[in-house]
Structure 1
Amino acid sequence: MRYLITFFLSLFITACAVHVDEMTVEPTMQKFDLTDSESDGVINARDQCPESFSGAQVDNSGCGAERLEKVRRNLLVNFANDSYIVESQFLPEIAALANFMKEYSETKVTIEGHTSKVGSKALNKKLSQNRAEAIKDILVNKFAIDESRITPIGYGFARLLLEGDDEYIHARNRRIVAELSSEKSFTNMKWTIYSVDERIE
């Protein structure tokens, strides 16, 4: 009897044994080509615009959108009250604008000077014009941008960003706005060289 039990137990263990296949030593081959030559986030296999340049904003097909429009942004340049002197700490912001204009030689820029509502209308009109002219002078004399591409204009306090009468609001209203325009279309970029309205000028 003990012999039969041992025999059947042996058969049961043999039937339940796990069979392990030896793993292949060959590497797994990539089935699809996931190469992205331009590093734009779209693989070559479905990139319909393989020659788009680095930094361009592209759609799901890898193509950049072309635009022909004006772009307005605040430059992060702050002025002391009743002053149009541009301090050296703001030069990198102006340099970024100059570099953009050098890269896109067809662009022109209107530099708008704005003031707070402190003082007379005539005084602020002249002050805002001087601020815009100061930015133009730096673009021309320090960064070699052709002056024919730059139009400075002062609006005084005619286009206030915020209404009110405290120092924070006055500081926000003392601002420079750069409006870029082009007669030709150019590719949308992912980045911007400008500050946004939430920054204090």
Structure 2
Amino acid sequence: MKMPILLFTSIAVSGCAADNAFFATDIPVMPDTTAQLKDLRDFDNDGVIEAREDCENTILGAQVNNDGCPKEEIGERSLRLDVKFANNSDKLTSEYSKNLEELARFMNKDKSVVVEIEGHASSVGAAAYNQRLSQRRATAVAEALVNNYGINASRVRAVGYGETRPLIEGNTDIAHQQNRRVMATLNTQFERTLMKWNVYTDDTTKQ
């Protein structure tokens, strides 16, 4: 009777040893706190953490890349000046003051802009006289920009074209009225920051 008992005991002990070998592992001891080595703050509120930020003080609401730098695009501005004159006159009337002010404001936004003021005349009278008249008209506008609106004279060029470049062809009163004029066209490029769309964005500002 002793042999069966010993055999059973041996099998039971062997089974417990196998179970312990299967489940026994080294459990690592974790520290109470883990040091955060990255700066997770976002000072300019652009959605990019300081650890990855390359462009500080981004405009609020701007589209940014992964480095927190705003996305830019090239925009264009243009302005056209059209000032009319009475027959045989180079007198600049006050009704065009706002137009000249707008032109000056345009030029002050980009100091590299240089404008050519074009003087024109109708075909009434002698061509040589109309040439001089158109030059006086251009000069009147140029001097107004310089003297009244602070534009540097080196940025303004007055040129008279006489009757050689009519706006409207023909020997009619309407044609003559439209051709007695001073014109200027300004175009400039600028960089602008693309902004994120939101519920307050209208069609004129949505990118």
TM-score normalised by L of structure 1: 0.58
Tell me the distance in 1 between the aligned counterparts of 2:169 and 2:139.
25
Question: Alignment partner of 1:77: what SS?
Answer: strand
CA distance in 1, matches of 2:184, 2:165: 14
**Does residue 175 of the first structure (1) align with residue 181 of the second (2)?**
yes
Q: Give, in whole Å, the separation in 1 of the partners of 2:125 and 2:191.
A: 43
Asked if the contact 1:72/1:177 (under 8 Å) is kept, the reply is no
Matched, 1:64 2:73: yes
Which one has more relative contact order, counting CA pairs under 8 Å at least 6 apart? 1
SS of 1:83's equivalent in the other structure is: coil
Q: Alignment partner for residue 186 of structure 1, among 180, 190, 201?
A: 190
Q: Structure 1 residue 174: deviation in Å? A: 1.5
Which one-letter code corresponds to 2:175 in the other structure?
I
Q: Give per-residue Cα distances to partners, 1:63-106, cap 9 Å, x unaligned.
A: 43256x9x673x23211000010011111101100111111111
Match of 2:148 among 142, 156, 160: 142
Give 1:1-201 correspondences, 5 Å limit: 37=60, 44=63, 51=70, 63-65=72-74, 73=80, 75-180=81-186, 185-187=189-191
Change (3 A) 1:119 1:142: same
Identity percentage of aligned residues = 36
Q: 1:98 to 1:88 in 2, by over 3 A?
A: same
Shift of 1:175: 1.8
Q: Is the 8 A contact 1:109 1:181 kept in 2?
A: no
Could you list the runs of 5+ residues in structure 1 that have no partner in the other structure?
Answer: 1-32, 52-61, 189-201
Matched to 1:90, the amino acid is Y
CA shift, 1:161, in A, is: 1.4
CA RMSD of aligned residues (A): 3.2
TM-score (norm 2): 0.56
**Cα distance change, pair 169–37 in 1 and its aligned pair in 2 (3 A):** farther
Q: Matched residue pairs, number?
A: 135
CA contact (8 A) 1:111 1:151 kept: yes
Shift of 1:45: 7.7
- Is the alpha carbon distance of 1:65 and 1:84 closer, same or farther for their aligned partners in structure 2, counting shifts above 3 Å? same
Worse overlay, 172-181 or 132-141: 172-181
Whether the 8 Å CA contact 1:108–1:181 is kept in 2: the answer is no
